[in-house]
Amino acid sequence: MIAPMAAPIVRFQNVSKSFGSIEILHAVGFDVVPGQLLGLAGENGAGKTTLIKCMLDFCAFEKGVIEIDGMPSRRPEARSSLAFLPERFTPPWYLTGREFVRATMQMSGTAWNESAVLSTFADLDLAASSLDKPARAFSKGMTQKLGLAACFLSRRGLLVLDEPMSGLDPSARVRVKGLLRRLKDDGKSLIFTSHSLADIGEICDHMVVLHCGSVTFSGTPGEMLERQSETSLERAFLKCIESSSHG
Ligand SMILES: Nc1ncnc2c1ncn2[C@@H]1O[C@H](COP(=O)(O)OP(=O)(O)O)[C@@H](O)[C@H]1O
Ligand SMILES: [Mg+2]
């Protein structure tokens, strides 16, 4: 007997988006099911950030439908179950780490819990002293960790992270990858973008390849390797986008 498929937490259907006369996304369609850790792979300029902006109603799109929890993504309540970290995260420079995290926790209806905050900061190797420093005194890596901490602490069921590993040093990348994999045990879902196939292979149970605004693959990393008869995800990805460019 085939188990019934869970209703998707996010559904992209036929999404097309232009900037001016140039179409950037071409009939993009795929589902994210609850509990899935989904990696959106693609070269720079493929349209990953644009697709996320469409999903979050930061920009309009001309064609197609995006649903979150079965609701049109343009309805504010559709976005009430997700936490988002933008590609270039810049917290208000005058807020301390504590003030920023407190504000984001409040927005998601999560009560301040000092030990949970300290434990998340420790998981990210972010010094407890940064709670009392203004964001303007944070390095790039610390700023990125602060944004990630706020997402992890929000207790929201879906994390949408645009290039979450950017600006992190190797040891921080290892920590963040571990935390992202752990989301699965907490029953959370994840959509994250990356141009690093290694990161996608290590974290995701599902990957979608976006190439020049079109989906050229949607499946598990294992299926990607099988389809391209490769053992390296990076080579399989390159084959996948080359064949779509020539096809
Ligand atoms: N506001 C904008 N106006 C015009 N073109 C844009 C805008 N934002 C993105 N683009 C273009 O859309 C394409 C996809 O960009 P983006 O979604 O940022 O790609 P990715 O996140 O995959 O690197 C690029 O060609 C980029 O130049
Ligand atoms: Mg981007």
Q: Atom 17 of ligand 1 has which residue's CA nearest to it?
A: 47
- Three-class DSSP category at 219: strand
Given this model, what pLDDT does residue 169 score?
92
What's the rounded mean pLDDT across residues 160-176? 94
Q: Is 44 in the pocket of ligand 1 (CB under 6 A)?
A: yes
* pLDDT surpasses 90 at 6: no
Q: Is the shortest distance between the CB of 19 and ligand 1 below 6 Å?
A: yes
The residue whose CA has the least distance to atom 18 of ligand 1 is 49
Residues above pLDDT 70, as percent of the chain: 97
pLDDT-derived band at 2, boundaries 50, 70, 90: low
> Which among 223, 220, 219, 216 is positioned nearest to 238, based on CA atoms?
216
- Residue 137 Cα to ligand 1 middle (Å): 30
* Residue 118, token pair as written in the block: 């300290």
Residue range 58-69, pLDDT digits in tens: 999 999 999 999
DSSP secondary structure string for all residues of 21-77? TEEEEEEEEEEE-TT-EEEEE--TTSSHHHHHHHHTTSS--SEEEEEETTEETTSGG
pLDDT for 155 equals 81
Q: Chain-wide mean pLDDT for the chain?
A: 94
In the predicted structure, residue 4 carries a pLDDT above the cut 70: no
Distance CA 175, CA 168 (A): 10
* pTM score: 0.95
Tell me, using a 6 A CB cutoff, whether residue 45 lines ligand 1. yes
Residue 167, pLDDT score: 87
pLDDT at 245 over 90: no
Q: What is the mean pLDDT of residues 49-63?
A: 97
